[in-house]
Structure 1
Amino acid sequence: MSKAESGNGPAVSDADLADRARSGDNAAFGQLIRRHQDAIFRFLSHQVSNRADASDIAQETFVALFRSLDRYDTGRPFLAWAFVIARNKARDHHRRRTALRWVGVDDQYDRMASQAPDPEREVADRDELSQVERLIRALPEGLRTPLLLSAMEGMSHEEIGAVMDMSAKAVEVRVYRARKSLKTQLSREG
């Protein structure tokens, strides 16, 4: 454990870790991933319908991050850049699923996935939480992503704007619209 990791010194910044990883330090890249994997997984869990898909997409995201390190601008937050890649991977996943459904083979993949509930899923199955998750997934991607990044990851509107390539004001409007839509749907469904 390094001095920074043990709490005896300043934490190593994401930019420093990325620079070290670009220079071939695989441990630095591993540290970056460990630092942000939970946030990326949470984000992806709300983008797709099941944890197995979220886990697969997270792995694809980590591979893409590694392959694209030379394009990362260390002047910007690493996590915002990682969310952009995760968002793109989730979109790719949805496009593949749509194509598979169109061809008629999507059901085969659903049957292959384990149906055994894990303890986390049992907790998440509470009625109210399940209803909210369903409504969030039903939001258009342009509203869902800013809401999740704001509410779940605590990102500022400016940071979300960097992820989504839009102004902070546009993000603020989308978060407002997403919350209003959820509130309306919840009141309708009781």
Structure 2
Amino acid sequence: MEAILKRTAQRVHESDDEKLLIEQAQNGDREAFEQLVRRHDRDILRLAFHMLGNREEAREVFQETFLKAYRSLSRFRFESSFYTWVYRIATNVSLDHLRKRQTLKEEISYESDTEMNPDRPALKETLAATTYYSNPERRLYGKEVGEKIREALKTLSEKERLVFELRHYQGLRLKMIGEIMGSTEETAKNYLFRATQKLRAYLTHV
């Protein structure tokens, strides 16, 4: 019980602290805005990377997201958390980039994984130490499965793909996903269900 009370108190403190930073940033304090960016930069970069599968585009989305957030900050009315608000901006920017593509390119390299997760050992070093990936036949099979999944994701609509990415790559709850989409938890659940059904059907027939 004591641990729960401590966690609750910590969340309240963090919420109050962030509210103060937002108000300071709205009054022109650049340092306060930079602190807000640092609190959410990894999550936004990770979201953009999973949505686009490309490091350079992910960086562009990251920069564009926080530029839009800075320019729109005066209109932020605390009707949602800053986290949800900036996620919604990043989501829309990512979708804009996807719409500009004629085809989706999702070649995710070992190097990009290291860059996105600097605190982890290099992925290629981790994989090299495992029996699964040191076996050429299994490695080939794993590559084929990965390619099939990437192809399957291309069959989803933009919103189905978005919900699937936010749920399974970002680990967000459906309620928050609904808020990010400007919709409801039930709508997000329906998109996730359709996405899962499409992926299952596609992968069953390949």
Name the TM-score, length of structure 2 as normaliser.
0.67
Q: Matched residues in 2 for 1:26 and 1:90: separation?
A: 25
How big is the shift at 1:90? 2.0
Match of 2:91 in 1: 87
Matches within 5 A, 1:21-100: 21-98=25-102
Change (3 A) 1:41 1:166: same
Of the candidates 141, 147, 150, which is equivalent to residue 164 of structure 2? 147
Q: Matched residues in 1 for 2:41 and 2:146: separation?
A: 23
Name the TM-score, length of structure 1 as normaliser.
0.72
Unaligned runs of 5+ residues in structure 1 are 1-6, 102-109
Answer yes or no: is the 8 Å Cα contact 1:15–1:75 preserved in 2.
Answer: no
Which structure would you say has the larger Rg?
2
For 1:54, the aligned partner's letter is A
Q: Which structure 1 residue ranges, 4+ long, deviate > 6 Å from structure 2?
A: none
Of the candidates 108, 112, 116, which is equivalent to residue 120 of structure 1? 112
Answer yes or no: is the 8 Å Cα contact 1:157–1:171 preserved in 2.
Answer: yes
Of the candidates 166, 175, 187, which is equivalent to residue 170 of structure 1? 187
How big is the shift at 1:54? 1.1
For 2:94, the aligned partner's letter is A
For 1:144, the aligned partner's letter is R
How big is the shift at 1:165? 2.0
State which drifts further: 147-156 or 34-43.
147-156
Query: Alpha-carbon deviations, 1:15-35, whole Å to 9, x = none?
Result: 332112112222221121111
Match of 1:11 in 2: 14
Identity of aligned residues (%): 28
Figure out how many residues of one structure are paired with residues of the other and give that number.
167
Q: Matched residues in 1 for 2:195 and 2:41: separation?
A: 25
Q: Matched residues in 1 for 2:19 and 2:152: separation?
A: 36
Match of 1:106 in 2: none
Q: Matched residues in 1 for 2:182 and 2:202: separation?
A: 28
Change (3 A) 1:17 1:183: farther
For 2:73, the aligned partner's letter is L
SS across alignment from 2:202? helix
Q: Matched residues in 1 for 2:92 and 2:166: separation?
A: 15
Unaligned runs of 5+ residues in structure 2 are 1-9, 114-122, 128-138
Change (3 A) 1:73 1:155: farther
Q: Matched residues in 2 for 1:150 and 1:156: separation?
A: 7
Change (3 A) 1:119 1:162: same
